[in-house]
Amino acid sequence: MRIAEPTGSRRSSVPLWLTVAAAVGSVVLLGAALVFGWLGPDVGRGAEFCEAARDALIKQPANTFSNLGFVIAGIAAAWHVSRRGPGAMSVGLATAYAIVVVMLGPGSAAMHASQSVLGGHLDLYSMYLLSSFVFAYAVTRLLGLAAPGFVGIFVGSLVVCTIAEFVTVQVPVILTAGNAVFGAMLLLGLLIELWLRARGSHRLEMRWGLASVITLLVAFAIWNTGMDGGPLCDPHSLLQLHAVWHVLDAGAAWFLFRYYASMSP
């Protein structure tokens, strides 16, 4: 697998089928985990995101089902790779990105559906997969590394995120050290993308990058206003601001893919 390959590279339905298989498999596995209690007891994990817990299999329905947006965005990215190609991005990396986006859905849903400790970890690790990908892909292109370099940076980033996950420090606004590292990696990845564009080695459609960043900023503002006890929090409403955050983040992930896929020499 190369980090980049020529525009117009051979197209295949394999990326789409792999991503659909990952989506179906992870959703089915999540359903089984909820039915059989594999995620553990409800400890109120994620209760700070406003929605009142129901006495049902799905504790927070709005915050849970809104995560389907990530599954749809990931499959849409894979469809684009299979039908239109990934631009100068390699097919392997484009497919991996699509699967990472898909995994955000069941990962986040595991927490909101069960409110369990394990569900909370799955939620965060699905986020870490995305931030590690964005950071590793940017650094790899900046340094002109091959696929092993990407894998090394990606794995190293996940290790850093794992350490941060178990650091019990309260961080203003973003709550935890894990969230801070997640946000920092995304920000660094996006800043490197700006540097790469300024360097001019590839052409990229900036509109997709701007759409992703603007959507993320709006989503972050909604994330903060939708907290438990906030002025716009209605615990029993079917429309939850945290659910809107999920949908907007899925849109931002799609826009970022389109930015990657627009790359050409």
Arithmetic mean of pLDDT, 72-101? 92
Taking only the tens place, the pLDDT of each residue in 204-234 is 788 898 999 999 999 988 888 878 877 888 8
CA distance 66 to 250: 10
Q: How high is the pLDDT of residue 2?
A: 46
Mean pLDDT estimate for the chain: 88
Q: Are 95 and 79 in contact (CB under 8 A)?
A: no
Degrees to nearest 5, angle at CA 30 with 26 and 34: 175
Question: Euclidean distance between the first and final Cα of the chain, in Å?
Answer: 18
The answer to whether 80 is a known ligand-binding residue is no
CA distance 127 to 106: 11
The answer to whether 202 is a known ligand-binding residue is no
Domain boundaries, the chain: 14-261
Confidence of residue 240 (pLDDT cuts 50, 70, 90): very high
The answer to whether 242 is a known ligand-binding residue is yes
Taking only the tens place, the pLDDT of each residue in 87-100 is 778 899 999 999 99
